[in-house]
């Protein structure tokens, strides 16, 4: 996010909360969306990665809920902690390479037009 956009949000919006990743959430005092609701924003800490937004804040950003997430972090007993998408990073899952896969009966030979029998 550009510095100008951050300044605009800081001057025209009210800070609503912060999540466990350090992302800050704002609601606009002046701007309205097409439905007449005050615009809601997130300012990411670090790289702008949308998968870092926890589910309850995502619901608030998209007007699915008007409840602001509590600072004490009270969660349901069945909830797991939110983990951002790590695809393409050093933390991504990579299956073990075991070498050559044994052939099975479900294997097939692909058809090539230049190889005709």
Instruction: Evaluate whether residue 66 is within a structural domain.
Output: yes
Q: Which one, of 77, 55, 83, 78, lies nearest residue 67 by Cα?
A: 55
What pLDDT, on a 0 to 100 scale, did the predictor assign at position 103? 76
Q: Residue 108: what pLDDT?
A: 76
Identify whether 101 is part of a domain: no
Residue 115 placed within a domain: no
Kindly report whether the global pTM for this prediction surpasses the value 0.75: no
Domain around 34: 1-72+80-95
The two tokens of residue 28 are 């606009």
Q: How many domains does the chain have?
A: 1
Q: What's the confidence (pLDDT) of residue 48?
A: 84
Q: Give the model's pLDDT for residue 34.
A: 82
Any domain includes 64: yes
With beta carbons less than 8 A apart as the criterion, state whether 44 and 23 touch: yes
Integer CA distances (angstroms), 45 to 36, 78, 115, in order: 28, 27, 56
Q: Is residue 32 part of a domain?
A: yes
Measured CA distances, 74 to 37, 55, 78, 85 (Å): 27, 14, 12, 23
Whether 48 maps to a domain, the answer reads: yes
pLDDT (tens digit per residue) in 24-75 = 999 998 888 888 888 898 998 888 888 888 888 899 999 888 888 776 555 6
According to DSSP, the residues that pair with 40 across neighbouring strands are 27
Classify residue 106: in a domain, yes or no.
no
Tokens of 72: 């004490």
Residues in a beta bridge with 26: 15, 41
Summarised one tens digit per residue, pLDDT across range 71-111 is 655 567 887 777 888 888 888 888 777 667 777 777 777 78
Domain presence at residue 1: yes
């Amino acid at each position: 996010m550009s510095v100008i956009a951050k300044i605009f949000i800081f001057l025209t919006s009210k800070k609503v909360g912060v999540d466990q990743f350090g992302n800050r959430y704002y609601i606009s005092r002046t701007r309205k969306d097409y439905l007449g609701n005050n615009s809601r924003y997130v300012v990411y800490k670090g790289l702008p990665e949308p998968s870092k937004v926890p589910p309850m804040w995502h619901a608030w950003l998209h007007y699915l809920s008007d409840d602001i997430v509590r600072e004490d972090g009270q969660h349901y007993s069945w909830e797991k902690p939110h983990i951002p998408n790590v695809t393409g990073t050093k933390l991504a899952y990579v299956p073990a390479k075991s070498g050559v896969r044994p052939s099975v009966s479900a294997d097939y030979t692909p058809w090539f037009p230049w190889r005709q029998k």
